[in-house]
């Protein structure tokens, strides 16, 4: 059940907006229309409006859809109501059950940066996104169904029975028989290909799970060709998140990702709870690698919503000189002195790599 529009009515009151009920009802119908048109190209603008950061004095994203229900609609991105409508649109899409819904949940959770970035219009929306994302990530490899034998269709059997054992054969009968045989052969070939593909998908999923299992058990960094326990904790955290993201084909990742990163980081370490600043983490890996991996992200529309990647990219592009930090603050609205635990760095890196994989 989609509760986004109902919650929107309550949030109008919580935000101190004395909006008439008829107008709120029209906004709800506008959300439904906007939801049908909402796709990847609108996501960064909707996030900006929802978080009330990087907004412009322009109509809210997909504002034309709201105007279809209210010809006087003129809510701007910078308005408090604009932030509420954008948040509701995100919530509505996440609960819609469409294929785009998990992408929105992942982007929203990632943009919140582990709760460091607050959502002004709907404080509960990140928690909602987290739960919906967990549901989307809980897919497991399902064994294919047992193959079944396809008997010859009765029509083919009847036509074959009309062919005499001796004597002349009616050409029209033979044409019908050959046509039925061709149809039957194609049908069985399609079924066989479908069964084979299901089996291959299953084997591929199991292989992916096994590779991830051995990565965790071995605690071996593919990037550094060394055990994670031999790496400094902060670089190990960032590499753990990045490498784990590369091991899954699931668009929104694995439900167990935080636990898997924790297992990798804990091997050989008595303590992994020491906090480090974002500025320190941003410079902890090789500069050339960071520039190649995150330089494009740092200069894109996604920069505010992938803050860890942006910090690493900006630092590398600035040759790790301190002037990247004020620029980071302007782009993301976040403080480069913010402190995170190693596991938080790993999970954030994991999520950002998944998002970036879809848009870059």
List, for residues 273-294, the tens digit of each pLDDT value: 889 999 999 999 999 999 999 9
- Is 339 strand, coil or helix? strand
Q: Which of 158, 161, 170, 101 is nearest to 131 (CA)?
A: 101
Residue ranges making up the domain that contains 226: 215-359
Rounded to 10 degrees, the C-alpha dihedral 329/332/337/339 comes to 170
Measured over all CA atoms, what is the biggest interatomic distance in the chain, rounded to whole angstroms? 97
Residue by residue, DSSP assigns 185-230 as HHHHHHHHHHHHHHHHHHHHHHHHHHHHHHHHHHTEETTTTEEGGG
In this structure, the answer to whether residues 199 and 296 fall within a common structural domain is no
* DSSP-derived secondary structure letter, 273: -
Quickly state the pLDDT bin for 150 (edges 50, 70, 90): low
pLDDT tens for residues 217-227? 999 999 999 99
pLDDT greater than 90 at residue 203: no
pLDDT score recorded for residue 142: 62
Least confident of 16-20, 114-118, 197-201, 279-283: 197-201
- Total Cβ atoms within 10 A of residue 319: 10
In this structure, the answer to whether residues 204 and 223 fall within a common structural domain is no
149 domain residue, yes or no: no
In this structure, the answer to whether residues 133 and 238 fall within a common structural domain is no
Residue 197 vs residue 27, higher pLDDT: 27
191 domain residue, yes or no: yes
Residue 60 vs residue 193, higher pLDDT: 60
- Is the dihedral angle over the CA atoms 332, 335, 336, 341 positive or is it negative? negative
In this structure, the answer to whether residues 340 and 325 fall within a common structural domain is yes
Last residue of a domain, one of 178, 209, 240: 209
Least confident of 51-60, 134-143, 266-275, 305-314: 134-143
In this structure, the answer to whether residues 109 and 167 fall within a common structural domain is no
pLDDT score recorded for residue 307: 98
In this structure, the answer to whether residues 203 and 222 fall within a common structural domain is no
143 domain residue, yes or no: no
94 domain residue, yes or no: yes
In this structure, the answer to whether residues 197 and 174 fall within a common structural domain is yes
pLDDT score recorded for residue 143: 67
298 domain residue, yes or no: yes
145 domain residue, yes or no: no
Quote the CA–CA distance of 284 and 264 in Å, as a whole number.
18
142 domain residue, yes or no: no
Q: At which residue do the structure tokens 């294929």 appear?
A: 99
195 domain residue, yes or no: yes
* Beta strands, E only, 55-196: none
In this structure, the answer to whether residues 173 and 223 fall within a common structural domain is no
In this structure, the answer to whether residues 223 and 303 fall within a common structural domain is yes
Last residue of a domain, one of 105, 137, 169: 137
**Per-residue tokens: 126:** 């990140």
* DSSP-derived secondary structure letter, 98: S
Q: Rounded to an integer, what is the distance from CA 294 to the centroid of its chain?
A: 18
In this structure, the answer to whether residues 259 and 335 fall within a common structural domain is yes
Q: For the chain, what percent of residues have pLDDT higher than 90?
A: 75
Last residue of a domain, one of 162, 183, 209: 209
Rounded to 10 degrees, the C-alpha dihedral 71/74/80/82 comes to 70
pLDDT score recorded for residue 196: 81
In this structure, the answer to whether residues 182 and 315 fall within a common structural domain is no
pLDDT score recorded for residue 122: 95
The number of domains in the chain is 3
In this structure, the answer to whether residues 195 and 224 fall within a common structural domain is no
């Amino acid at each position: 059940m989609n509760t986004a529009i109902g919650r929107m009515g309550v949030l109008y009151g919580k935000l101190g907006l004395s909006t008439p009920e008829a107008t709120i009802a029209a906004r709800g119908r506008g959300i439904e229309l906007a939801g049908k048109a909402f796709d990847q190209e609108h996501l960064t603008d909707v996030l900006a409006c929802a978080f009330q950061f990087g907004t412009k004095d322009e109509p809210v994203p997909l504002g034309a859809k709201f105007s279809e229900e209210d010809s006087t609609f003129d809510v701007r991105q910078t308005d408090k109501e604009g932030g509420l409508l954008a948040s509701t649109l995100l919530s509505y899409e996440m609960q819609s059950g469409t294929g785009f819904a998990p992408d929105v949940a992942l982007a929203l959770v990632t943009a919140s940066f582990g709760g460091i970035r607050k959502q002004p219009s709907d404080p509960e929306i990140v928690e909602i996104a987290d739960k919906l994302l967990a549901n989307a990530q809980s897919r497991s490899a399902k064994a294919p169904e047992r193959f079944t034998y396809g008997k010859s269709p009765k029509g083919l059997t009847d036509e074959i029975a009309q062919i005499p054992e001796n004597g002349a054969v009616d050409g029209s009968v033979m044409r019908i028989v050959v046509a039925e045989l061709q149809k039957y052969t194609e049908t069985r070939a399609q079924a066989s290909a479908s069964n084979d593909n299901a089996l291959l998908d299953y084997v591929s999923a199991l292989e992916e799970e096994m590779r991830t299992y051995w990565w965790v058990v071995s605690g071996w960094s593919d990037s550094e060709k060394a055990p994670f326990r031999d790496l400094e904790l902060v670089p190990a955290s960032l590499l753990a998140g990045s490498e784990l993201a590369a091991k899954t084909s699931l668009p929104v990742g694995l439900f167990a990702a935080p636990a898997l990163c924790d297992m990798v980081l804990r091997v050989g370490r008595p303590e992994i709870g020491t906090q480090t600043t974002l500025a320190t983490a941003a410079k902890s890996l090789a500069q050339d690698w960071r520039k190649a991996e995150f330089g494009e992200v740092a200069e894109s529309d996604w920069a505010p919503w992938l803050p860890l990647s942006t910090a690493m990219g900006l630092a590398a592009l600035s040759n790790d000189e301190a002037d990247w930090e004020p620029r980071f603050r302007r782009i993301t609205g976040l403080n480069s002195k913010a402190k995170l635990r190693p596991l938080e760095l790993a999970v954030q890196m994991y999520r950002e790599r998944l998002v970036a994989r879809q848009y870059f």
